[in-house]
C-alpha cells in the first residue's frame, strides 16, 4: 500500500532572503514576510490564502504575528517540530503535509527566520536549548564542541580518514562559486585555509564549521492536486521521517556505543526508505545539513550512501559535484558555502534543483534527499521528486 505521504503534497513556491550575519537591512519578521511573499508570488497564490505555518529549531516568529503583514484570513494550523537544532527541518515538511492530507489546512508555509539582532547568535540559541550543569562544568557550551567530541570518535576510533571532509568542503565551495546567492559566490576557495584556519575545538578548525547568516526562507506546500494548477512545476514530497529510537537522544553522551559516532539518522533513514520504497541508489542528489563537515560525513553514512569502511571511496570531490558526480551534494553550496539560515537554504535548493533552476544543475535529476541537522537528539529526513515515481 502506498504511504499516505507519498506524492500527495508538493512544494509550489520558495522564497529566500539572505544577508551577512548581523547585517540584515530589515527586522527578522520582515525578512520572513518577504520570503513568504516571494514563495506565494512564485506559485501565483494570494498570500492571504495561506492558512498554515510550520517551523523548527525554536523559531521565535509565532505565525499569528504574521497575519497582519500577510493579510491572513484564517490561521488553521501553526506548529513547530521540537528540538533546538536543525534536526527538525525535514520533519517540518511531514508536519505540513499531515495538515494538508488530513484536511486541516490547504496552503502551508514551512519557514525559518533568523537575524542576529532579534534572535542572537544561532549557535548560542541552539545550545541554550540544551545547556545544563553537566555541560557547563565540562566547558562544553557550543554545538561545535559537542560535534567535535563525536568527530574525534569517528576519526580516531573508527579510523575514518579525516581528509575526506576536505572533499565535502571543496565540493561545497565549488558549487557556491557558481551560485550568485551564495556567500562563496565567485570565490576560489583555497583548501589550504581548511588546514591553516584557527582551531575552534579539536578536530575542528574554523572552516570545518558552518556559517551563520541573517535571513529567512519559506516554502509553500499544497496538495499535489492544487500544485498542478499553480504557476511552478510541482516538487512532490515523497516521504518524510523524524525522531529517534532507543539508544539515541538527549542522554548526556550516553548514546549506544555503536551509534555514538553517527548523526542519529539510522531509524529515520530506515523508515524513510521503507515508506517510499526507495533506496540510496534511487537518490539523484542530496541536500545535506552540515553544521560541521564531519557530521555531514556521518549523515551520508547513516543514509546508506557509504560505510565507515568505504567512506573515502564515495566521499570524493569528483563524485560529490553536480558536474558528473554520482552523489551530488549541496549543489548550492550548502551550509558551509551557500550560507546558513539554520538550514532552510537546503530544501529551497532541493526544489530549485528538481525544477532545473539550480546554479549547478544535476542532469536528469528526479529525486533529492534532504537530510536534517545531524547529531541532534531528534533528526529528520525527507525525499522530494519532480514526478511521482
Q: Are 169 and 320 in contact (CB under 8 A)?
A: no
Residue 34 neighbours by CB distance under 10 Å: 19
Task: Transcribe 90-144 into DSSP letters.
Answer: THHHHHHHHHHHTTS-SEEEEEEEE-HHHH--HHHHHHHTT--HHHHHTT--SHH
Strand order of the β-sheet with 9-20 is 77-81, 52-56, 107-114, 213-223, 9-20, 235-243, 379-385, 367-371, 285-288
- State the Cα–Cα distance between residues 279 and 265, nearest whole angstrom: 15
| From 62, 190, 202, 309, residue interacting with another protein (rule: CB under 8 A) | 202
Residue 376 CB, shortest distance to another protein, in Å, is 17
- Grid coordinates representing 221? 506546500
Residues binding another protein: number (CB under 8 A)? 35
For another protein, the closer of residues 112 and 130 by Cβ is 130
| From 115, 201, 322, 329, residue interacting with another protein (rule: CB under 8 A) | 201
Residue 377 CB, shortest distance to another protein, in Å, is 12
For another protein, the closer of residues 58 and 255 by Cβ is 255
User: Grid coordinates 539550480 are at which residue?
Assistant: 358
Residues 132-191 within binding reach of another protein (CB under 8 A): 132-142, 144-145, 148-150, 152-153, 156-157
| From 64, 124, 191, 193, residue interacting with another protein (rule: CB under 8 A) | 124
For another protein, the closer of residues 23 and 136 by Cβ is 136
Rg of the chain over all Cα atoms, to the nearest angstrom: 19
- Grid coordinates representing 169? 568542503
Q: Is there binding between residue 274 and another protein (CB under 8 A)?
A: no
For another protein, the closer of residues 26 and 200 by Cβ is 200
Residue 246 CB, shortest distance to another protein, in Å, is 7
Residue 203 CB, shortest distance to another protein, in Å, is 8
- State the Cα–Cα distance between residues 222 and 228, nearest whole angstrom: 10
For another protein, the closer of residues 151 and 322 by Cβ is 151
DSSP reduced 3-state for 71: coil
For another protein, the closer of residues 137 and 281 by Cβ is 137
From the list 77-85, 86-94, 127-135, 276-284, the region that binds another protein by CB under 8 A is 127-135
Encode burial over 98-116: b for 16+ CB neighbours within 10 A, e otherwise. bbbeeeebbbbbbbbbbbb
Length of the chain measured in residues: 389
For another protein, the closer of residues 133 and 188 by Cβ is 133
Residue 255 CB, shortest distance to another protein, in Å, is 9
For another protein, the closer of residues 144 and 385 by Cβ is 144
Q: Are 207 and 111 in contact (CB under 8 A)?
A: no
| From 77, 260, 289, 292, residue interacting with another protein (rule: CB under 8 A) | 260
Residue 152 neighbours by CB distance under 10 Å: 17
Residues 205-234 within binding reach of another protein (CB under 8 A): none
From the list 57-65, 77-85, 250-258, 268-276, the region that binds another protein by CB under 8 A is 250-258
Q: Which spans of this chain sit near another protein (rule: CB under 8 A)?
A: 124, 131-142, 144-145, 148-150, 152-153, 156-157, 198-203, 246, 250-254, 260
Amino acid at each position: 500500500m502506498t504511504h499516505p505521504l507519498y506524492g500527495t503534497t508538493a512544494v509550489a513556491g520558495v522564497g529566500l532572503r539572505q544577508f551577512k550575519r548581523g547585517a540584515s537591512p530589515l527586522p527578522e519578521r520582515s525578512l520572513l514576510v518577504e520570503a513568504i511573499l516571494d514563495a506565494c508570488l512564485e506559485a501565483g497564490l494570494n498570500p492571504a490564502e495561506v492558512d498554515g505555518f510550520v517551523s523548527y529549531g525554536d523559531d521565535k516568529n509565532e505565525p499569528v504575528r504574521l497575519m497582519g503583514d500577510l493579510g491572513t484570513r484564517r490561521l488553521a494550523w501553526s506548529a513547530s517540530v521540537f528540538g533546538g537544532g536543525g534536526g527538525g527541518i525535514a520533519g517540518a515538511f511531514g508536519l505540513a503535509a499531515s495538515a494538508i492530507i488530513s484536511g486541516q489546512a490547504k496552503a502551508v508555509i514551512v519557514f525559518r527566520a533568523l537575524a542576529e539582532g532579534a534572535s542572537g547568535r544561532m549557535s548560542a540559541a541552539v545550545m541554550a536549548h540544551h545547556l545544563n550543569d553537566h555541560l557547563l562544568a565540562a566547558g562544553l557550551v557550543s554545538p561545535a564542541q559537542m560535534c567535535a567530541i563525536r568527530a574525534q570518535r569517528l576519526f580516531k576510533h573508527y579510523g575514518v580518514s579525516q581528509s575526506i571532509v576536505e572533499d565535502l568542503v571543496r565540493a561545497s565551495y565549488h558549487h557556491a562559486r557558481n551560485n550568485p546567492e551564495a556567500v562563496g559566490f565567485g570565490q576560489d576557495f583555497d583548501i589550504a585555509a581548511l588546514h591553516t584556519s584557527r582551531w575552534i575545538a579539536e578536530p575542528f578548525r574554523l572552516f570545518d564549521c558552518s556559517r551563520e547568516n541573517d535571513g529567512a526562507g519559506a516554502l509553500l506546500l499544497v496538495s499535489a492536486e492544487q500544485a498542478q494548477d499553480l504557476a511552478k512545476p510541482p516538487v512532490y514530497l515523497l516521504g518524510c521521517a523524524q525522531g529517534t529510537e532507543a539508544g539515541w537522544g538527549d542522554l548526556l553522551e550516553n548514546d549506544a556505543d555503536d551509534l555514538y559516532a553517527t548523526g542519529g539518522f539510522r531509524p529515520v533513514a530506515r523508515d524513510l526508505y521503507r515508506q517510499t520504497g526507495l533506496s540510496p541508489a534511487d537518490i539523484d542528489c542530496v541536500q545535506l545539513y552540515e553544521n560541521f563537515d564531519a557530521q555531514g560525513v556521518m549523515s551520508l553514512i547513516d543514509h546508506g550512501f557509504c560505510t565507515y569502511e568505504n567512506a573515502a571511496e564515495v566521499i570524493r570531490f569528483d563524485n560529490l559535484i553536480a558536474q558528473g558526480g554520482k552523489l551530488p551534494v549541496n549543489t548550492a553550496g550548502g551550509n558551509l558555502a551557500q550560507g546558513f539560515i539554520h538550514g532552510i537554504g537546503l530544501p529551497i535548493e532541493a526544489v530549485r534543483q528538481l525544477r532545473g533552476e539550480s546554479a549547478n544543475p544535476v542532469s536528469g535529476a528526479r529525486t533529492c534527499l534532504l537530510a536534517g541537522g545531524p547529531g541532534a537528539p531528534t533528526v529528520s529526513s525527507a525525499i522530494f521528486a519532480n514526478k511521482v515515481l
